[in-house]
Amino acid sequence: MELIQRRWANLSLLAVTAVWGATFIVVKRATEDLAPFPFLAIRFAIAFITLLPFVWVGRHHLTKTGIWKGLALGCFLFGGYATQTIGMQYTTASNAGFITGLSVVLVPALVTSTTHKLPHPTLVLGIISATLGLALLSLGDNLRFNQGDLLVLICAFFFALHIFFVGRYAPTENATVLAAGQILAVSILSTLFSLIFPQGSLQFTSYAWFGILLTAIPATSLAFYIQTKMQQFTTPTQTALICSAEPVFSALFAFLLAGEILPLRGLTGAALVLAGMLTAELSGSQEDLESKEGLRP
């Protein structure tokens, strides 16, 4: 039963990753009209509003602990978005894509540092495969280190912390409360950054609103609820491996929607990322994974 739950959870997380990959091209185009922080502030505010009825229905699950944990998750999530957004101004998109994807390595490192147990050898193999795949997908022939790379590495740490702590909190806290808390935190912090720092384009065009409305529910409220709910049945390391497929889905939808074709190098990278995910999925029983990652309290 637990193995079946884990596989359903991983499939659900893969579907969320596919949604994030599918909306990447939309977000990229929408933020040309509306600067990233105002875009995030409105997107996450709408997402929070859509979750409010469900929070009200399950208000008996509201606890101070759950609310504070949700807000803390939101701080990690916003930290990832903020450092990535600022860092990308001082580095290349390829460097940013690869360095952000290094959360696939950072999550098991966090797990190992807290449990003092190394990941299962097949999980290590999956991590290596996914990392090599990300490198082939993201990095060009002329690898250069830029000023923004350190900021993007900090972004990868924030995203890794988010995945890690969702895995810690999800088994004991209500998923709706955690999802609503983190979405609210991102909206508030994005609004503050919009007011404090100079913003670029602030054109509320029809496409900007299209991007906001399209991403607010499927890619935000629904996606983070599913992630929070499903991580109680799987491990942070497997979640990170699944999320590493986001650039694969991004490339797939870029081909379907914009006709962009991956070169052989990119196709090889995509295959390695998927191979890493499959290796992790076939790496053993749920009990073995839980004991190695300290998933159970």
pLDDT in tens, the chain (297 residues): 577 788 899 999 999 999 988 887 788 788 888 988 999 999 999 999 999 999 999 899 999 999 999 999 999 999 998 888 888 777 766 666 677 778 888 898 888 888 777 777 887 888 888 888 887 876 665 556 667 778 888 999 999 999 999 999 999 999 999 999 999 999 999 999 999 887 777 889 999 999 999 999 999 999 999 999 999 988 898 898 888 888 888 878 877 776 767 678 778 888 888 888 887 776 644 444 444 454 444
Burial of 124 (0-12, 13-18, 19+ CB in 10 A): middle
Domain that holds residue 31: 2-293
Cα torsion 190, 194, 197, 200 to 10°: value is 120
Residue type, 111: V
Residues 6+ apart with CB under 8 A from 86: 148, 151
Q: Indicate the pTM of the whole model.
A: 0.85
Residue with tokens 């497929």: 245
Q: What total of structural domains would you count in the chain?
A: 1
The alpha carbon torsion through 233, 295, 105, 6 (nearest 10 deg) reads: -20
Residue 253 one-letter amino acid:
F
